[in-house]
Structure 1
Amino acid sequence: MIQKSKTLSNKSNLQVLYEDNHIIIVNKRAGDIVQGDKTGDKPLSEVVKEYIKDKYSKPGNVYLGVVHRLDRPTTGVVMFAKTSKSLPRLNKLFADKKTEKTYWALVKKEPTKLQDTLIHWLIKNPKNNKSTAYPNEIPDGKKAILHYQVVKKLDTYFLLEVTLETGRHHQIRVQLASIGCPIKGDLKYGFDRSNKDASISLHARNLQFIHPVSNEAINVTAPLPKDPVWDACV
């Protein structure tokens, strides 16, 4: 369970990375849920609404569309739509794979290959909210493809840069674990101990796309969490 912490996002500490009339992109903190769930905890989407309402003195309800999500213990780039005009266009960008997303992950074990493409078929178990990766196609399995490369060796950990071809449930977490490289702090997928803040060391580092309204090229990078191991990565 994610620990409650004063570091969770609220309208006063929200880290906005990019904003215009149609889009707002923020740096999600570990422990934030992007959208409301059965826990009843206040989601990041509501925090962003409060920020917009206060900043622009908007009366009544604030419109905000959830474009994509990150797992609760992860950090990094999350984009929301500020207008009903931009939401379907942003959804189409993601559906058509016209966004470039880069993730950073810290693992303790060095992968056998310095760079590789991983292909698995994933089955999600909703009872324990966990996915299992299979090396060959199986009934009801969803094909998952990612590319990784080792970009830095630290004293104890290895920094991997990961890009996705597919967006499956816990994809990076389960696929890296399947090659013996669970992400630091990720008890669910086999790491031996938790991080102090109950996060996992998976960070949505960068997002690039063509703005669906202005047609400008947008390139957003999320600063890393404040942590000695992450500090050693830059």
Structure 2
Amino acid sequence: MKSKILAEDQHILVCFKPPGLAVQSGRIGEPDMVSELKNYLGGRNPYLGLVHRLDQPVSGILVFAKTPQAAAKLSQQAAAHGEAPQGGKNQTGKQKKNGNQKPGKEAIPSMEKGYMALVYTGTKRDGTATEQIHQIQESVQEPGLDEERNEIRRKEIKLVDYLLRDVGQNTSRVVKADIKGARRAELLYEVVEKKDRQALVRIRLLTGRHHQIRVQFANAGLPLLGDARYGTEESREYSAEKGYGNICLCAFSLSFYHPATGKRMDFQLEELPWIKNN
């Protein structure tokens, strides 16, 4: 089984999805997570509720429901955005030991997903790309201290665009706001590390659009390494040189409230997938 199980009980199944494996495939004979996990659960057509997805080339943590009741509650959390309190530091790859915080009476439980990506910073063009790369340099060189959380706080940079999806081509692109069908896309990112012509960034999605992270960073002149679809000739050549065969984008952390107990569950990967081969 290509999927890796991180946690399981009678209500939920938390797994790591490797790059290249579809969450649910419509193609006959093509492996996917749903089929793998149903085979793992055994029995005749076991229930497995699909709560959220990741694009096939993208890796990361996903939670599945093992009962319809759990699926309903988790789906409500996945639909909410940023309304639940933020947790503290996570244990890597494990549920946080003191993760027993319950949402207050007025809190709306929300599923929180954190992404990490490697972006190419060697783009040679004027405009937005130059501005974003300049901000990256500043955010790395002048970090601040968040005393409350006792950790380094770097400058968060916001990207705001309007995206138009082409269903037939399975792509999205940045367009003007007044284009029919365009949807506003927002994200925040901070730079964790920069070296050579690449930067490691931590991303918070404020909206959930088709291929949002890949399209917005490409439009900003910072294409994701390993991204053949939205990358530039320069970024593709650099990716090949460095051995990045898959998209360097990972949903590395996931937090939600347990559908039965209400306890906060926090998960984080020990290592980013592309580190193993580079």
Q: Does 2:25 match 1:75?
A: no
Aligned to 2:217: 176
Between the aligned partners of 1:198 and 1:39, the Cα distance in structure 2 is: 25
Q: Does 2:117 match 1:105?
A: yes
Aligned to 1:138: 179
Between the aligned partners of 1:106 and 1:226, the Cα distance in structure 2 is: 11
Aligned to 1:32: 21
Structure 2: unaligned runs, 5 residues or longer = 82-109, 122-131, 137-155
Q: Does 2:44 match 1:60?
A: yes
Aligned to 1:23: 12
Aligned to 2:250: 203
**SS at 1:214 equivalent:** coil
Looking at secondary structure, tell me which structure has more helix per residue.
2
1:212 to partner: Cα distance: 2.3
Q: Does 2:74 match 1:90?
A: yes
Aligned to 1:51: 40
1:162 to partner: Cα distance: 0.3
1:226 to partner: Cα distance: 4.7
Between the aligned partners of 2:66 and 2:174, the Cα distance in structure 1 is: 36
Question: Could you tell me whether the CA contact under 8 Å between 2:77 and 2:111 is conserved in 1?
Answer: yes
Worse-matched range after superposition: 109-118 or 125-134: 109-118
RMSD in angstroms over aligned alpha carbons? 2.1
TM-score, L = length of structure 2: 0.71
Kindly tell me the number of residue pairs found equivalent between the two proteins: 215
Between the aligned partners of 2:250 and 2:226, the Cα distance in structure 1 is: 13
Between the aligned partners of 1:73 and 1:200, the Cα distance in structure 2 is: 6
1:61 to partner: Cα distance: 1.7
1:197 to partner: Cα distance: 7.2
Between the aligned partners of 1:137 and 1:40, the Cα distance in structure 2 is: 42
Aligned to 1:214: 261
**SS at 1:121 equivalent:** strand
Between the aligned partners of 1:27 and 1:66, the Cα distance in structure 2 is: 14
The one-letter code matched in structure 1 to 2:225 is: K
Structure 1: unaligned runs, 5 residues or longer = 1-9, 54-58
| Deviations 1:177-221 (CA, angstroms, capped at 9, x unpaired) | 110001001111124326657420001010112222211010011
